[in-house]
Chain A
């Protein structure tokens, strides 16, 4: 089974920019992996921010953007806000089988 890797933790200053990445043990992440990004705050269900690499959900603030960068999926947060402090999970689809990354704990400090 494929392994999806994320940075365990990152810190960003308020108003700053940070990029979270999502790699695949099988090689480069492609559009065929339909990368997703989810935000989860303590005690809450995950919330989809990005699907299919770069599509925002209706509730996703414009400061979040998704892309592919250097063979990985990437989530860029531009202009971090205190409320963006959360756990972020990526997900890749392998012919319909979902594999989640281990999550990135993002601190806004």
Chain B
């Protein structure tokens, strides 16, 4: 069965970086794009963009350029989200979500606080 398993919660100081992983299993990783979605505390879902897991080519939504980097490694069937120069407003749960049937990871809480 398809599973997306994300890395654990992170607590970071402002200005630091974080890398969230999303390990896929149960399907051929490079056959499906992976999306990233942010949910700030008490807020709705916000699409951050997606990565072509076959070519590694990322596409970023408005508001997610510059400090946000999507990458993927086909050899370990894993997609990554890296956020640099963290700000308090980056505090959120970050989800990976596969295209087509819409499988979701369990989410990774990133908390940015001094």
Q: Using a CB–CB distance below 8 Å, which chain A residues touch chain B?
A: 1, 36, 38, 40, 45-48, 51, 55, 57, 89, 91, 96-103
Within the complex, the shortest CB–CB distance from B32 to chain A, in Å, comes to 13
A100-B45 CB under 8 A given contacts A1-B62, A45-B95, A46-B95 = yes
Tell me if A47 and B101 are in contact (CB < 8 A): no
Distance in Å from the Cβ of B38 to the closest Cβ of chain A?
A: 10
Contacts of A98 in B (CB 8 A): 35, 37, 47, 50, 61
Does B104 sit within 8 A of A, measured CB to CB? yes
The 3 A-B pairs of least Cβ separation, nearest first, read A48-B102, A98-B47, A100-B45
Of B50, B97, B100, B102, the most chain A CB neighbours within 10 A belong to: B102
Does B46 lie at the interface of the complex (its beta carbon under 8 Å from any beta carbon of A)?
yes
Is B100's CB under 8 angstroms from A100's CB?
Answer: no
Contact B101 A51 (CB under 8 A): yes
Beyond known contacts A46-B95, A97-B61: 20 more, CB 8 A cutoff? A38-B45, A45-B95, A45-B104, A45-B105, A45-B106, A51-B100, A51-B102, A55-B101, A57-B102, A91-B47, A96-B50, A97-B59, A98-B47, A99-B47, A100-B44, A100-B45, A100-B46, A102-B44, A103-B44, A103-B45
Number of A-B contacts (CB under 8 A): 50
User: Is A96 a contact partner of B59 (Cβ separation < 8 A)?
Assistant: yes
Which residues of B have CB within 8 Å of A89? 44-45
Residues on A with C-beta less than 8 A from B50 are 96, 98
